[in-house]
């Protein structure tokens, strides 16, 4: 089966963490990779790393773009077409949480920002990426970033979880609509991953202990664990897979969610 050499792929949030690791993985297999994010220096440094990993004439470029701003996402998708005139894949990785705490004391502005970044950012990416793929006439693959927090409750991480649950449902509904166009839409749902976003947990403490206790594979995941899952879903090996959310969480989904109230000594 052919791989992804020569494919043009956009990775949002590609300046660090899972996004960067995935972009490196894709370039190492010969894909032309475009990354986007909000911090130009971080993107420039990441692009150098991606370019160093590239093989077979693959290229790397970046675009400064905020995924909550549709015109900026449209420009990032357009930049992805520069090497080959098309967009074969999109990994909507950008996300994060600006709210942790009880629903009873929720900072609504922080909740709204969390939902906007994660869920609305993904909606915009699906809209713009799928429009470009439709214009090509022969489909493509979109992978969204959900989370274990969106599949089973993690106390005090509910705002992030609500947004990520929406992303999994977005993958299902978009897959249903876009399938006749040959566009596949799937999601990954990582558990605890050792990256910049989760470093305040993976450094150690009661919350990390709680995570480990609830995982059959009792270890912290790596960015490369997730990158491999994204590579499968964005490549031809998964050509008959759409509308799925792939858990990459050491089996955490088989037990209960980590209790984020432990961050507050509750």
Check residue 116 and give its pLDDT.
Answer: 98
Residue 124: predicted pLDDT: 98
Alpha-carbon distance of 168 to 161, in angstroms, equals 11
Which H, E and C letters describe 120-162, residue by residue? HHHHHHHHHHHHHHHHHCCCEEEEEECCHHHCCCCCCCHHHHH
Say how many Å lie between the first and final Cα of the chain, rounded. Answer: 52
List pLDDT tens digits, range 186-204: 999 999 999 998 999 999 9
Q: How far from 255 is each of 156, 200, 207, 212, CA to CA, in Å?
A: 17, 23, 15, 11
- Contact predicate 156/260, CB 8 Å: yes
Asked if 140 contacts 183 with a C-beta cutoff of 8 angstroms, the reply is yes
Q: Which of 160, 211, 232, 260 is catalytic?
A: 160
Please, which pLDDT band fits residue 265 given cuts at 50, 70 and 90?
A: confident
Sequence-separated contacts (24+) of 45-51 with Cβ below 8 Å:
45/15, 46/14, 46/15, 46/16, 46/20, 49/20, 49/24, 50/14, 50/20, 50/23, 50/24, 51/27
41-61: average pLDDT: 98
Query: Which CA distances in Å does 98 have to 104, 118, 152, 157, 163?
Result: 16, 11, 19, 10, 12
Q: In angstroms, rounded to a whole number, what is the distance separating the alpha carbons of residues 137 and 89? A: 14
pLDDT (0 to 100) of residue 99: 97
Instruction: Tell me if 191 sits within 8 A of 216, measured CB to CB.
Output: no
Query: What's the pLDDT score for residue 129?
Result: 98
pLDDT band (50, 70, 90) for residue 245: very high
pLDDT at 234: 98
Span 142-172, pLDDT tens digits: 999 999 999 999 999 999 999 999 999 999 9
Q: Is the pLDDT of residue 2 over 90?
A: no
Q: Across residues 85-101, what is the average pLDDT?
A: 97
pLDDT tens-place string over residues 54-89: 999 999 999 999 999 999 999 999 999 999 999 999
Per-residue pLDDT tens digits for 204-240: 999 999 999 999 999 999 999 999 999 999 999 999 9
The percentage of the chain sitting over the pLDDT mark of 90, rounded to a whole number, equals 98
- With a cut of 70, say whether residue 266 has pLDDT above it: no
Q: What is the CATH number of domain 8-264?
A: 3.40.50.720
Q: What is the pTM of this model?
A: 0.97
Active site annotation includes 160: yes
- Predicted confidence (pLDDT) at residue 243 exceeds the cutoff of 90: yes
């Amino acid at each position: 089966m052919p791989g992804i050499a020569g494919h043009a792929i956009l990775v949002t949030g590609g300046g660090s963490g899972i996004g960067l690791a995935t972009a490196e993985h894709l370039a190492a297999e010969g894909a032309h990779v475009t990354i986007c994010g909000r911090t130009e220096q971080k993107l420039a440094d990441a692009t150098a790393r991606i370019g160093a990993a590239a093989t077979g004439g693959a290229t790397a470029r970046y675009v400064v773009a905020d995924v909550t701003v549709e015109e900026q996402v449209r420009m990032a998708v357009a930049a992805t077409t520069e090497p080959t005139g098309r967009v074969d894949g999109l990994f909507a990785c950008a996300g994060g949480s600006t709210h942790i705490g009880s629903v009873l004391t929720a900072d609504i502005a922080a909740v709204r920002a969390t939902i906007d970044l994660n869920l609305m950012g993904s909606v915009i990416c699906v809209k713009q990426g799928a429009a470009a793929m439709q214009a090509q006439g022969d489909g493509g693959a979109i992978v969204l970033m959900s989370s274990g927090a969106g599949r089973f409750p993690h106390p005090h991480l509910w705002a992030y979880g609500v947004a990520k649950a929406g992303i999994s449902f977005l993958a299902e509904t978009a897959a249903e609509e876009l399938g006749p166009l040959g566009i596949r839409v799937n999601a990954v749902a990582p558990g605890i991953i050792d990256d910049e976003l989760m470093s305040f947990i993976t450094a150690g403490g009661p919350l990390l202990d709680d995570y480990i206790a609830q995982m059959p594979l009792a270890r912290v995941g790596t960015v490369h664990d997730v990158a491999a899952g994204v590579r499968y879903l964005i490549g031809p090996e998964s050509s008959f897979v759409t509308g799925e959310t792939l858990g990459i969480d050491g089996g955490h989904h088989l037990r209960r969610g980590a209790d984020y109230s432990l961050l507050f000594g509750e």
